[in-house]
Amino acid sequence: MKLAPIALFVYNRPEHTRKTLESLINNTEFIDSSCYIFCDGAKNEKDKDSVQTNRELIHSYKLENVIIIENKHNKGLAKSLVDGINYVFQEHDRIIVLEDDCVPSPDFLHFMNTCLSEYESDERIMNVSAYSPPIEIPEDYPYDIYFSYRFSSWGWGTWKRAWDHYSNDPKILEKIETSNIIKKKLDRSGLDLYPMLKRQINGKLNSWAIFWAINIIMNDGLSINPVKSRIMNIGHDGSGTHCSSNRRYDVKINKEIKCKLSFPKETEPDDRIIKSNYDFRAGSLSKRILYMCYHKINEFIDFNL
């Protein structure tokens, strides 16, 4: 099985970085994988000490398979991540991406590399996610993965052939607003996507992920998600760039290491899981009404997504 290079993005949270890196190191495939750690620069004087502490922590592991890249200036999460992925793709044709608050399971790399190898030539599959929200999976569903119109940025991977479609051009909003077909595809993936894109375009959000989610949708792509999550996000303590204090997305990560994963015979989403995913992301009735109002009046409503 071909091992994808790993890209880990960190900033100023040493304890989060330690938990994520040590869990990653405990994966059997880690020692034979190339690992790039991208350290963003401090954005202000207050963050300088914690940024430096984080870098010293990473260097202390003295890992021969790790390349540490330290930015002198602050790029911000979105630019740092996109630049880092493009950097890795100069030498590789696939990638596994983690941020410093995404703690992987013991079989995270096995799961990711198996899926990346299994669907390497399937052009419709554009992303492999290691996290699945706590949705209801039908008891008679026999596989270890499911296909989704919506990807998760908490531990994910892709191929250069898919990432070549990535674009953060603001004009993408015009394409959506002038096409009922694209609007329907977007809403099928979650009513929260359009408001998030509007926030991004209006400078209220600094996200690469909203563009990747929409790029996948506009290219009729699918994401692979695990039935049992291989990632636990520990950033919902209020310390992250986009994650407020919230336990809604908590999951129990997989502890069972399976040598062989079971894949669906057809590359088609299960309608029951799609609905379950949609309902989870839509949230409460009041939140759904807000989303619908947002779409109808096409005005910015600043509420917590």
Looking at the domain assignment, is residue 59 inside a domain? yes
CB-side exposure of 36: number of CA atoms within 13 Å? Answer: 24
Residue 58 sits in a domain of what CATH number?
A: 3.90.550.10
Average pLDDT score, the chain: 90
Looking at the domain assignment, is residue 302 inside a domain? no
For the segment 114-144, what is each residue's pLDDT rounded down to a tens digit? 999 999 999 999 999 999 999 999 999 999 9
For the segment 156-188, what is each residue's pLDDT rounded down to a tens digit? 999 999 999 999 999 999 999 899 999 999 988
Looking at the domain assignment, is residue 1 inside a domain? no
Above 80 in pLDDT, residue 285?
no
Q: How far apart (Å, rounded) are the C-alpha atoms in residues 87 and 85?
A: 5
CA angle 206, 246, 75 (to 5 degrees): 20
Q: How far apart (Å, rounded) are the C-alpha atoms in residues 183 and 292?
A: 13
Looking at the domain assignment, is residue 167 inside a domain? yes
* 267, 122 Cβ separation under 8 angstroms: yes
For the segment 236-264, what is each residue's pLDDT rounded down to a tens digit? 655 555 444 567 888 888 877 778 999 99
Looking at the domain assignment, is residue 201 inside a domain? yes
Q: How far apart (Å, rounded) are the C-alpha atoms in residues 230 and 225?
A: 10
Domain count, the chain: 1
* 68, 39 Cβ separation under 8 angstroms: yes
Looking at the domain assignment, is residue 305 inside a domain? no
Q: What is the largest CA-CA distance in the chain?
A: 55
For 221, the domain range is 6-297
User: Could you tell me the two tokens for 88?
Assistant: 């890795």
Looking at the domain assignment, is residue 304 inside a domain? no
